[in-house]
Structure formats: structure tokens, C-alpha cells
Amino acid sequence: DSNDAADVFLYDRDADENGIYDEPGGIAVTLISIGADGSAANNISYAPAISPDGSQVAFESLANNLIPGGTMEFIHHVYARDWQAGVTTLISQSSDGAEANDGSSRPAFSGNGRFVAFESPADNLVPGDTNFGNDIFLRDRDVDEDGIFDEPGQVATIRLSVDSGGNQSDGQASNAAISADGSLIAFDSDASDLVPGDTNFTSDVFLHDRQIAPPTGADLSVTITGPGAVLGRGASYLVTVQNAGPETAVNATMSRSITSNDSTHWGQPSQGTCFFSSCEFGDIFAAGQITMTASGSVSENQGNVYIGSVNVYAHVSADTSDPNLTNNTASFATHFYNCAADNQCILDEVVCYLFKTFPPTPTSSSRNESQSLVGQFIPQLALYYQVRDGILTTTAGSHYKDLYYTHSDELSDLLFADTTLWDTALATLAQWEPNLHALVNDEGETAVITAAQVQSMDDFLNALSAAGSPALQQTIANERANLPPLTTFVGMTMAEARGQIIGYTTYLPLVTGP
């Protein structure tokens, strides 16, 4: 080692391979950055990376005498050294053997050293590299997979810092990391066009999956936005159709509907024409978007707090094949409430309390952490009206109707005044909501009651009894004495338990009798 320059070495802690590390006489140090003819490298070498199996060492070097024929001066390249075979290979070169015309750095190995990821601002490693930026590249040293690395004609260099369609990015990429099989490569980049919706104006971490072929066709999608719950009679909606590409959506169309018990209206689309239940948009280019408005209302009913719903539906398609059909259909429901109605029960009072205190927006403020999602919870309240009406009007449920209305005022006062009781009620509802949906959708035979659900109900009833008046405590105790133990229902379906579990759940505010 006579070059007076930094070199790369390999330290073998078990050269005799007896499984004992660092024995005297059982270690070896090997020079990795060595000239093609065995002479010293004529410039510095640094930043080594070793393959997980230990057979290959990659490094950066400004030396130009490491491979036969040499390389250009004053350009640092990435090399790989098979230290057992004594062969050094230039990694930072194109598929046809042209060495990179700018510096390359930070190599990363796959498990056996076949794949080497690295970064470089060179623009001659792949065709069409015109973004004037640092990119991530991958060198495949065994294209024919015969186990022999770096055979002429069986190597390839590809660019990885591209979007899913293979298009180059508008930013800089660096710091590649590669999976053992070479199929996944992670890197960071400040580009804004590698994935849709990257609007944070800062560097992000991306994952490139080489096993996924670039998409074809036109990925059409439709979304509907609007309020999930309204204190009033009417609501407006925005319907958005988008083409995520990569191809143009030819002859795009949409079918649509709005259902309500009062008036509905569709606005004109930003492109194309619509007639009643269908729209013809013509061609939608990749990244194109079409919008239209809609509105609907329900009839006023002074006798009820819950006064109905408006349902909006849309489905888009085109002559061009669509690689993702899961986003071609959208539906949206808005539920309407009238808090001026008379004869409010506990459910009505809770609903109107929520509307007054926590406006139904995802960013609604809350009085404590457990209610941070109350704004998103309000649109689900119609479910509990369906559950209540479906149960209390049955023969089995009629016994509990008087109890339900008799204690409404006290239940309301307790819930609004006692934060712990409120939190317990919300936690119980979260446990039971999937089963309630199943019951309302006539799928009660598929929804099995779990031990966690039963425990949550027991916790709530105990908390309610502890906070309630002697009359409420006695009522709860009497009803529980007349019903099977709660643990009886674990493992039952909602359909099986429906007739017996009513007595317990009559006292669940909002649920009121699932």
C-alpha cells in the first residue's frame, strides 16, 4: 500500500472459518481498492458497502486504474470487487458499457451482490435522462440469471427514481436502500411528481417496486363530497371525475342518481353534457378532471328530530380499459335533523346536543380527547334511529318503550354532566356499531357478539347505575334480574340474541335498543 491515498479494506474476523472470531492468526485484512494490474490505486477510494453474504464489496473511487482500460480522470465512480476472485467491476456504467459522465456514489447491495443501487447526476446511464438531477440507478450484474456476474451482454442499468409510469422526476434523489432480492428499492427525493398528491414541498421517502409493471389504460375515478349530517332540510354536493392515466379515457360517461322525499337538482358538468341520469364527457386526458354540483332536500316533519336522508350515486366508465375498477363508483348519504321537534327522547336530545356543541366537521373542537371525532360520528347517528325504531316497535321491545321514555330526561342530564359516563358511552357504541349496521341491514345472523362488546355494555350499565338516581338504579337492577347474565350472549349472533338483549341495551344512549 504505497499510494499515500485513502483505500478500502476488508477485515475478515474468521479467516480460518472455524467459527471463532478474532483469534490470533485467524484474521485477515484484504486490500479492496487495488489496480487492475495489482498496482496501487492512483487516487482515493472510500464509502464501502458489503453484500449481505460478504462476497462482494462496493465502493466509490476517484482512481482511474481500477479496471482494464481505465476510466476518465477526475470522475468518482462506483465499483464492485469480488474479493475472493480478485476481480473489480465498474458499476456506474450504462447497459451498453458507457461509463457515467458524472460522479456516482452511495452503493447499496442486494443479498448476493447481483444488484447494486447507486446515485448519480450522470445523464448517459439510461436514454432520455434530461432532468438535470441526481437519480437512483440499479445495475443488474446477472440478467440471464446463470449465477455468473458481469458477463458481456448480460448486464443492465436502469433508472429507479421515476414515477409508476416510468416518467422521470422533477427533483433530486439520493440514499438508496435495496431489499435482499433486489425487487424493492427505497430512496429519498424532493421531487413533487413521483406520486400523485405530493404537495408538501419537501423531501419524502419513496419505494420503487420493480416487480410491478408500469400501468396501462385510463384509471377513472369518481368522488362525491358533501355534509354527512345537516341540521336542516337541504344540502349541496360536489361530484368529481378524475383520470389518473396514464392513457386518455376515450368516450367517458357517467350514470348518476339522487334520491330523496323532496326536491333534487343536478348542475351542468365542467366538460360534456348530461341528461337526467346520464352524462357524456367525451375524452378525458390523463390527469384531467371534471366537476359538477348537485343538491337535494327532504320534507320537513315537525314531529321528528330525524327527518330523512338524501342519497347521491355516480358511476363512471370509458371505452379505454381501466386498470382499477374499485374507484369507478361512489355513493354518499346525508342525514337531516330538526331539533325544533317536540317530544324528544334521549336519542333526540343527544343528537341535538352534539349538533349544538360539536358541529359536524372533521376538525370540530372537543371538550376532551375522546370526543375529537364526534364531528365524524354525527353522520352515523341515523343508524341508531333505525335500530331504535326497528326494536321498540316489536312485540319484544314494546315492554321497554315506557322505560326508555320515562328515563330520557335523567339519562340526558347524566350524559351531558358526567364526562366519564359520556366517554364510556362512546366507547361502548364504538364496540357495537358493526353489529348494529348488520342488524339494520338484515344481516343479524352474520354478526357475532364478542366478549369485548358484552364487557363494554356491562361497564356502561354499571357506570350508569352508579351515577343515576335511586329510581333509575332500581329500574336497571330489576331489569337485569329478569334477564340472563350478559355473558350468556357471547358467541350469539345479533339475530339470536335480539329478543333478550333489548332490556340491557334500552339504557344505552344513542343505541337505545339494538
- pLDDT for position 512: 33
Round to whole Å and give the CA distance between 434 and 447.
8
Check whether residue 183 and residue 255 sit in a common domain: no
DSSP states of 274-337? EETTEEEEEEE-TT-EEEEEEEEE----TT-SEEEEEEEEEEEE-SS--S-GGGSEEEEEEEEE
**Does any domain span residue 259?**
yes
Grid cell 477526475 is found at 74
- pLDDT for position 350: 65
Check whether residue 203 and residue 231 sit in a common domain: no
**Does any domain span residue 514?**
no
DSSP states of 79-106? EEEETTTTEEEE-SB-TTSPBPSS--EE
Check whether residue 317 and residue 404 sit in a common domain: no
Q: How far apart are the first and last CA of the chain?
A: 83
- pLDDT for position 510: 31
Round to whole Å and give the CA distance between 276 and 498.
43
Check whether residue 58 and residue 195 sit in a common domain: yes
**Does any domain span residue 83?**
yes
Which residue in 83, 71, 112 sits closest to 8, CA to CA?
83
Round to whole Å and give the CA distance between 149 and 89.
10
Check whether residue 437 and residue 302 sit in a common domain: no
- pLDDT for position 149: 96
Number of H helices, E strands in the chain: 9, 23
Cβ–Cβ < 8 Å for 507, 350: no
The CATH number of whichever domain residue 16 belongs to comes to 2.120.10
Residue type, 318: A
Tally the domains of the chain. Answer: 3
Check whether residue 132 and residue 8 sit in a common domain: yes
- pLDDT for position 509: 34
Round to whole Å and give the CA distance between 419 and 463.
11
State the Cα angle at 70 between 64 and 74, rounded to 5°.
30
Cβ–Cβ < 8 Å for 226, 286: no
Cell numbers for 230, please give them: 345537516
Domain membership of residue 418 as a residue range: 346-505
Round to whole Å and give the CA distance between 381 and 346.
13
User: What does the pLDDT profile of the chain (514 residues) look like in tens digits?
Assistant: 788 899 999 999 999 989 999 999 999 999 999 988 888 899 999 999 999 989 999 999 999 999 999 999 999 999 999 999 999 999 999 999 999 999 999 999 999 999 999 999 999 999 999 999 999 999 999 999 999 999 999 999 999 999 988 899 999 999 999 999 999 999 999 999 999 889 999 999 999 998 866 678 999 999 999 888 788 889 999 999 999 988 999 999 999 999 998 999 999 999 999 998 999 999 999 999 999 999 999 998 766 777 888 999 999 999 999 988 999 999 998 888 887 766 556 566 666 766 666 555 433 222 333 333 344 445 455 655 665 655 555 555 555 555 555 666 787 788 777 888 878 887 887 787 787 777 667 776 788 889 998 888 888 888 888 888 888 888 778 777 777 777 888 888 877 776 555 444 443 333 333 3
Check whether residue 209 and residue 231 sit in a common domain: no
**Does any domain span residue 163?**
yes
**Does any domain span residue 512?**
no
Round to whole Å and give the CA distance between 336 and 296.
11
Number of C-beta neighbours around residue 464 at 10 A: 24
Return contacts of 273-278, CB within 8 angstroms, 24+ apart. 278/253, 278/254
**Helix (H) / strand (E) containing 116:** strand 115-120
**Does any domain span residue 513?**
no
- pLDDT for position 182: 93
Check whether residue 209 and residue 232 sit in a common domain: no
Residue 4 Cα distances to 7, 43, 45, 63, 78, angstroms = 9, 9, 11, 12, 21
- Side-by-side strand order, sheet with 289-297: 218-225, 234-246, 289-297, 264-266
Check whether residue 204 and residue 235 sit in a common domain: no
Last residue of one domain, picked from the residues 214, 235, 266? 214
Cell numbers for 165, please give them: 409510469
The CATH number of whichever domain residue 295 belongs to comes to 2.60.40.1530
- pLDDT for position 342: 60
Round to whole Å and give the CA distance between 385 and 391.
10
Check whether residue 405 and residue 301 sit in a common domain: no
Note if the pTM is more than 0.85: no
